[in-house]
Chain A
Amino acid sequence: MLADYNLPQWSGMEALEVLLHEEPSVPLILVTGVLGEETAVECIKEGATDYVLKSSLARLPVAIRRALQEKQVREQRELAEELFRRAVESSPSGILMVDETGKICLSNAVAETMFGYKCDELAGQSIEMLVPDRFRRLHREHRAAYHNAPIQHGLGKGRDLFAVRKDGGEFPVEIGLNPVHTSAGTQTMIVAVDITARKQAEREAEEYTRELQRSNAELEQFAYVASHDLQEPLRMVASYTELLAERYRGKLDDKADKYIGYAVDGAHRMQRLIQDLLAYARVSSQARPLQPTDSGAVLASVVTQLRQTIEKNNAKIVWQHLPVVHADEMQLGQVFQNLIGNACKFHSEQPPRIEIRATPAGDMWQLSVADNGIGIARESSARIFQMFQRLHTREEYEGTGIGLAIAKRIVERHGGQIWFDSVPGAGTTFYFTMPKCGGGIA
């Protein structure tokens, strides 16, 4: 607005009054014939942006441009302040602004709810009022140290802290600090998150994990001791029933021979089950540290050990370059042995052809053992890795059904996974992952 200072029935100052009431953001420049210095100062004090004498109208455009520029700067500042205010208010975290002396100068609604104070109860108070008594001295020291070297301090990067509510209740908080440089000095913006629920969940998860570990350890110990201690009496049962079968075959009646045969067979099966159970328990109890292991060399050794089985089944085993993995050599060999042994065992009418490959998969190597065997029905896939689960009768295929359970346990001990793809009648490919160790292809 451009207004003359002296008008017939009113003055530029009255125009200013109207303007300030109706549109306070519009700048007003007084354009007047004469204006003493005292009046000019008074006008500026009352809110006029500037004044230009009619004898110096050439200065008017300059005054207008400056007024517009100032208005723009003011509006930008107001917008920034509004954005800041809204951001602080709408933050899901508690926000407090603290000056160089530790006095609270700003708080948002979440902080007020979190600490149980109203805004005016927090303003001007020391931030230490929100810190439990026993930590206050230390907090003051930390605050002074932070003030000397203020740096951004992200949420979750510090130690566990506790805060205290107005009612004296303590709760765990996560704190983020951010220095804010203002014309009134460096202030610190504190972002506070009440982590009571998270801490509770963490405690429960830790407790659950501890309980699970304890239970697993107990179970493993039980399985190991039980199966180990069962071996001796069972060996005795097996030996004496075998002796009975040898000495008395044909001397008793047919039924007795049959019953003794059942007993011998049952004792042998139980021995195998116990040995398998022990092998399963040993995946943990006799585990060795993981170290760089040439999987190609391990496979070659397994193939040598399985030579009889391979020759008996006329199997062909092929592989090319296999990587160095981070593994327990014995256990990796066990996985290969179980998978290749199965591939030989469950062959189709064709001689078994087994191919072992490796491909990189992130931090792991994905190894595969593919065969051209009888395949696995889709409905069996859920139980194939379970202990003592057999998909066929003992008469069809020997074995207790522990091999894949052991392979799974070993792979999981290495942080890997095991799974398979199969086309019944055409073949199966088992995949498992082992951690890389930067050795590359051997």
Chain B
Amino acid sequence: MRIQAGQVAPARDVHFLLVEDNQLDVELIQCELRRAGFEFTSAVVETR
């Protein structure tokens, strides 16, 4: 089984893997995490 869509997001020593097919939800979730103080960079990996 392959992950269809996802996002890797390191936050200090925590890494997030977000599996989401909706770009708007990705942004909403990132926004919510940043607002809560999680600092991270992100990269999008599209899977087929």
Contact = CB atoms under 8 A, between A and B. Distances in A.
Contacts, number: 59
Contacts of A12: 19
Interface string B11-39: 00010111111100100110011011110
Interface string A11-46: 010110110000000100001000000000000000
A250 interface: no
Contact of A4 (B20, B36, B37): B20
A1 interface: yes
The range of chain A's interface size is: 20 to 34
B27 to A, nearest CB: 11
A383 B19 CA distance: 92
A3 B28 CA distance: 14
A68 B13 CA distance: 11
Given A2-B17, A3-B18, A4-B19, A60 B32 contact: yes
Contacts of A4: 19-22, 25
A8 B17 CA distance: 18
9 nearest interchain CB pairs? A61-B36, A3-B19, A57-B32, A2-B18, A1-B17, A4-B20, A7-B21, A15-B19, A60-B32
Nearest to B5: A7
A1 B19 CA distance: 8
Chain B residues touching A, majority SS: mixed
Contacts of B1: 10, 14, 17-18
A3 B22 CA distance: 11
Given A8-B4, A10-B1, A18-B1, A60 B29 contact: yes
30 contacts: A1-B16, A1-B17, A1-B18, A1-B19, A2-B16, A3-B19, A4-B19, A7-B4, A7-B21, A8-B4, A8-B21, A9-B4, A12-B19, A18-B3, A26-B17, A31-B18, A31-B20, A31-B25, A54-B25, A54-B28, A57-B28, A57-B32, A60-B36, A61-B33, A61-B35, A61-B36, A61-B37, A64-B36, A64-B38, A68-B14
A382 interface: no
A184 interface: no
A61 B20 contact: no
Nearest to B17: A1
Contacts of B33: 60-61, 64
Contacts of A15: 3, 19
A58 interface: yes
Interface string A124-155: 00000000000000000000000000000000
B32 A58 contact: yes
Contacts of A10: 1, 4
